[in-house]
Amino acid sequence: MNAVTRFVRERWALVVGPVVLLVLWELLSRTGVLPETFFPPPIRILASAGIIFDVEDGIGGDVLITVGRLIATVVLAVAIGVGVGIAITASQWMERGVNTVLAFVYPIPGVLFFPFLTFILGRGETAVLLTALVTPLIVMILYTVAGVHSISGMLLEVADNYDCRGARRFFRVLVPGALPSIVTGIRISLGFALIAVIAIEMVGASSGLGNFLWENWQILRVTDMYVALLCIAVLGLLSTVGFDSVADRLLPWRAEERSTA
């Protein structure tokens, strides 16, 4: 009971904003301030939410596909981003060169790379994943570089004195030292990855929540469209809250800092 009470006390603020928004939406829709044709009451949308659990004829299959793409994108972004970020810090020349390329690419919306990737890879799953990977990967590289630069020079000198090089230096010094910044990068990359995956699904995929939302908007099946939008919002919330819970266990001082803030 104490665990449940503590969870409610710590997490209740997460639901206050959405509940207030939904109640306001319900009232405005019921009173005609918002046209029900395009803004159906949330209660009606929730009544149609059963399609979420229908894998074959509903939206359940699209949810699973989007979640799979999101996981694949984040895993690739972390694995490649951390490796590249740490590697380029070994040389000032290399770091400046890579940073110049990242500064050039970062402002470009990731979805714009999709047409160019389809020229090379065709309009398939690989092109979808690589397009979604662009922005999260850049974020992970930048945060990893920042994390490596935050490591104490004294710690690096000690590692040099003990001839800690290669894989030992990577896994025992650089990754642990940059971990706080890497964790922050992963949290931000999760949001960018979800945005990228949904955007790519809307314009370049034949499945997924983004595709379902776009197709229902085109035929004005507004209620189903909002169910898809609700799934995307809940997925974003769960990924953020879930990651924070895991990160708090891996880095206990994060939870202490937030509780004292």
Q: What average pLDDT does the segment 165-179 reach?
A: 78
Question: SS3 for 106?
Answer: coil
Write down the mean pLDDT value for the chain. 84
Please report whether residue 53 resides in a domain. Answer: no
CATH number for the domain harbouring residue 224 = 1.10.3720.10
Task: From 30, 198, 215, 10, select the one nearest 109 (Cα to Cα).
Answer: 198
Domain that holds residue 68: 60-260
Q: Is the pLDDT of residue 247 over 90?
A: no
Q: Look up residue 217 and give its amino acid.
A: W
Please report whether residue 91 resides in a domain. Answer: yes
Please report whether residue 92 resides in a domain. Answer: yes
> Is the Cβ–Cβ distance between 210 and 110 less than 8 Å?
no
Q: What average pLDDT does the segment 103-107 reach?
A: 87
Predicted pLDDT at 69: 94
Please report whether residue 99 resides in a domain. Answer: yes
Q: What span, in angstroms and rounded, lies between the C-alpha atoms of 37 and 41?
A: 10
Task: From 97, 125, 131, 91, select the one nearest 111 (Cα to Cα).
Answer: 131
> Is the Cβ–Cβ distance between 232 and 208 less than 8 Å?
no
- Give the pLDDT confidence of 189-223 residue by residue, as tens digits: 999 999 999 999 998 888 899 999 998 888 888 88
Please report whether residue 45 resides in a domain. Answer: no
Q: What span, in angstroms and rounded, lies between the C-alpha atoms of 102 and 159?
A: 30
Predicted pLDDT at 256: 55
Q: What span, in angstroms and rounded, lies between the C-alpha atoms of 84 and 238?
A: 28
Q: How many domains does the chain have?
A: 1
CA atoms within 13 A on the CB side of 112: 6
Please report whether residue 225 resides in a domain. Answer: yes
